[in-house]
Amino acid sequence: MPDSFAMSGKQAVRGCLRDEPAFCTAACPFHLDVPALVTKIERKAFNAAFRAYQNAVGFPGIVSRLCDHPCQTVCIRTRVDQAVSMRLLEQSLLDLATRTDPYAFNLPDKDRRIAIVGAGPAGLACALGLCRKKYDVTLFDRQKTVGGHLADRLPEAVYLADIHQQFMNETYTLVHREIRDLAPILAEFDAVFVATGAGGETFGLVPDRGENQAVPGAAATACPGVFMGGGVTGSNTCEAIADGLSVVQAIEAYLKVGRMDTPARQRSTRLKKDPADIALCPATVPSGGTAYTGEEAVAEGRRCVKCVCDACLRYCDLMGHAGKSPKKVVDDVEATLHPGTLAGDGTIAKRFIASCTHCGLCRTVCPVHIDMGEFLAVSHQALVEKGAMPWAFHEFFLKDMDFSNSGRAALVRPPPGNAESCKYLFFPGCRLGASDPRYVTAAYEALLSALPDTGLMLGCCGAPARWAGEEPRLRDVLENIRRQWEALGRPALVFACPTCRQMIRRHLPDIPGTFLYPLLQDAGLTGLIGTKHPGPPPVSGMESCSPANPHENRRPMPPFEGWFEDRTVCVFDPCASREEPALQQSVRDLVTAAGYVLDPLPMEKHLAQCCSRGGQIAVASPGYAREIVKSRIGQRPHPYVTYCINCRDIFASAGKPAMHILDILFTLNGPDRPPPNLTQQHNNRVRLQSLALETFWNETRDMAQMDSLNGIALHIPEPVLEDLDKKMILASDMETVVAHCETTGRKILDPETGLFTGHLKIGHMTFWALYRADKSRPDTKRFELVKGYGHRMEILEE
């Protein structure tokens, strides 16, 4: 376990509102699950809805008439239009349900005797609950008939009909006697419920409604076995019925284990809901005046918002996609970290953990700011340290990071001239130049013209190591950045990539930094490309490793007219920009100043979403990653403008017209530029290093010295390269395999086709190359690749 694994799952989701009751349910004396009831009504399951109502309130005929419906007072719809009319829905259910008789339960009788003092609403409700559990119940009342004060509120025929119907399968003993002393009853019965009504006898006992710390149980009194509720404790009619129903559980707990401390029902909710998310929907008017028809009940039911906290499930693609709430995620992750199987390998959430994009949106939208992304990141790291996370999920990206920080692609220089330190250091990140080296050279040229004291650092910020849970590798990258930063006199970093900014702020907080785009905006430094150091367009294919003439293709690109007629674009905020409102505004200002019209995306600014690159989930969950991209690019038909090159290239690879902001500022590429493949990205980084050295420091790097393929040249036709890209195999891997085969002689001949096959394990992966000799030049070491493939399994016994 990493040291940082201090955050247990339960801590991570502490305060989660997912299981909090809806406002109506919390306010209801019966704790009626209104959203569940309404759902039944919506599907016209009126009998099921009535049964749920009957089970909750005991006496549906009485309660539907007498309840003052506190649920309607707290209904969130009152802040939008009108509350869902539970009053009418409940009354309508009595008519709409065709089966209203209670179920008869065939249970054996229990030999415990319970006395109920008072046959009013609370006493009857308690008797009903206990009778249904087949306890021996005796009701004492000074009146000859049951009902108590119901006689003051409803016609006798109405309430007696309901009482008789609910008791139709039950039997109890009714004793016409006024109880003045509990002692004889206590001697005869196992438990007593005092329900003597408003102003009734308390027998010197103090009723507890949750405030009495001495006897904290529901409806408990200080006398063991004696409970009290209903009007005598201040409840109104419906609350009294609810008291009588809920005390059954407390009495049963006392009978079974002798305890009086059954918790009182939760009467509040911490649920939070924004009325702004609720669409206007006027109340349904009953055509009959006093009750809904079936169709009207359905219509009214549909107005119910079914209040539940589901912000994370609605906004987070991962939790929504898997249908897992934070608590369920924590359960699964903990079962994965601490598997319960004998073999210790019964893990269920490995792929889930490796599928988080770490975009942070879950934390932003959660009303109590639960950070599931952080929990998953820490869990990921713990799995990596246990050796339980499949290496294949991140190996490609970690190798890519190592390459970016290798001598072939990385570069750290003070500003051109004789300076050894600098005030600013441009850190464009490893991805920008991989897409098109000119993004970096054009931006650096512009920066130098305004801020000549600006150095350049090419390399990776370590985000792939963080996403892979590889703490030691992350530390190495960060220490290297810190060393170089200190060597240059602790300059302020100028970031082009919001993820790099986020990484440095998080892990190296003492390194100051700013973004490139506001600097360019402030200095009015756009449109300089083509004037001095334009550089060539991005490279493609194998031949790109050799440095090209940086002064070719100096011609400025034509303006982008014609790609989109009305010049309307959408700014797609990268997820790492979510907490950078100044940056977001700056980019919008720059795009607008360039003559574009902005159409806001539904999820922008503080709700910025990940393009699917975050967390590098493409290997662990390729299908899920594709779903994310699809949902992002489908939000608006206009071209997107981003300021994260990953977003741009990922959208472009899915066919969405997209530009990086630097495409606009320096007139570099149009929105339909195909994204570079993986090999081109590698080669572009090599190109960028040599281009920057040549352009800004007038140095030439001898590329030939850097290759060690023993003079072997491998030609890869374009379709084969495309196929390799889909398999996430680099041309350089294939070159290494072929060079290995040709140097060692370890290759296989297919006599039928004359093709050679050979393999080599590079890192953890085993790569296979199917290739042929160049027939036109058989005496040379030139070959052509026919196919490449790779597998994760290791071949033993070679």
Partner 1 sequence: MTHDPDEKICLLCKKTMVKQKTDFAYLGHSFHTDVLRCPDCGQVYIPEDLVNSRMKEVETLLEDK
Binding residues vs partner 1 (CB under 8 A): 345-347, 350-351, 387, 390, 392-393, 744-752, 756-757, 759, 768, 770, 787, 789-798
Q: Which is nearer to partner 1, 164 or 746 (CB)?
A: 746
CB of 348 to partner 1, least distance (A): 8
CA 260 vs CA 188, 227, 251, 257, 769: distances in Å? 19, 9, 8, 9, 76
Q: Which is nearer to partner 1, 152 or 797 (CB)?
A: 797
Report the distance separating Cα 459 and Cα 485, nearest Å: 13
Report the distance separating Cα 446 and Cα 294, nearest Å: 70
CB of 753 to partner 1, least distance (A): 9
Report the distance separating Cα 603 and Cα 623, nearest Å: 22
Q: Which is nearer to partner 1, 181 or 798 (CB)?
A: 798
Q: Which is nearer to partner 1, 144 or 775 (CB)?
A: 775
Which tokens in the block code for residue 354? 């490796």
Q: Which is nearer to partner 1, 272 or 791 (CB)?
A: 791
For 94-126, the three-class secondary structure string (H helix, E strand, C coil) is HHHCCCCCCCCCCCCCCCCEEEEECCCHHHHHH
CB of 339 to partner 1, least distance (A): 10
CB of 734 to partner 1, least distance (A): 14
CB of 677 to partner 1, least distance (A): 20
Are 464 and 404 in contact by the 8 Å Cβ rule? The answer is: no
- Helical H segments across 272-367, by residue range: 294-302, 311-315, 317-322, 326-337, 350-353, 361-365
Are 548 and 536 in contact by the 8 Å Cβ rule? The answer is: yes
Which tokens in the block code for residue 756? 């050679």
Q: Which is nearer to partner 1, 19 or 794 (CB)?
A: 794
Q: Which is nearer to partner 1, 211 or 798 (CB)?
A: 798
Question: By three-state DSSP, how is residue 575 classified?
Answer: helix
Backbone Cα Rg of the chain: 36
Which tokens in the block code for residue 316? 């987070």
752: left (phi over 0), alpha (psi -120 to 50) or beta: alpha
CB of 629 to partner 1, least distance (A): 22
Q: Which is nearer to partner 1, 512 or 622 (CB)?
A: 622
Cα 225 to the center of its chain, rounded Å: 49
Q: State the residue for tokens 């997107």.
A: 640
- Whose CA is closest to 200, among 250, 234, 237? 234
DSSP 8-state symbol, 281: -
Q: Determine the Cα angle at 696 with ends 695 and 698, to 5°.
A: 70
CB of 770 to partner 1, least distance (A): 8
CB of 319 to partner 1, least distance (A): 19
Residue 51 class from Cβ within 10 Å (0-12 exposed, 13-18 middle, 19+ buried)? buried
CB of 789 to partner 1, least distance (A): 5
Q: Which is nearer to partner 1, 631 or 744 (CB)?
A: 744
Q: Which is nearer to partner 1, 99 or 792 (CB)?
A: 792
Burial 148-187 (b: 16+ CB within 10 A, else e): bebeeebeeeebbebbebbbeebebebeeeebeebeebbe
Listed in sequence order, the residues at least 6 apart from 257 whose beta carbon sits closer than 8 Å to its beta carbon are none
Which tokens in the block code for residue 69? 């419906």
CB of 393 to partner 1, least distance (A): 8
Q: Which is nearer to partner 1, 345 or 510 (CB)?
A: 345
Q: Which is nearer to partner 1, 338 or 746 (CB)?
A: 746
Q: Which is nearer to partner 1, 245 or 337 (CB)?
A: 337
CB of 797 to partner 1, least distance (A): 5
Listed in sequence order, the residues at least 6 apart from 94 whose beta carbon sits closer than 8 Å to its beta carbon are 50, 60, 61, 64, 100
CB of 756 to partner 1, least distance (A): 8
Element (H, E) at 462: none
CB of 623 to partner 1, least distance (A): 12
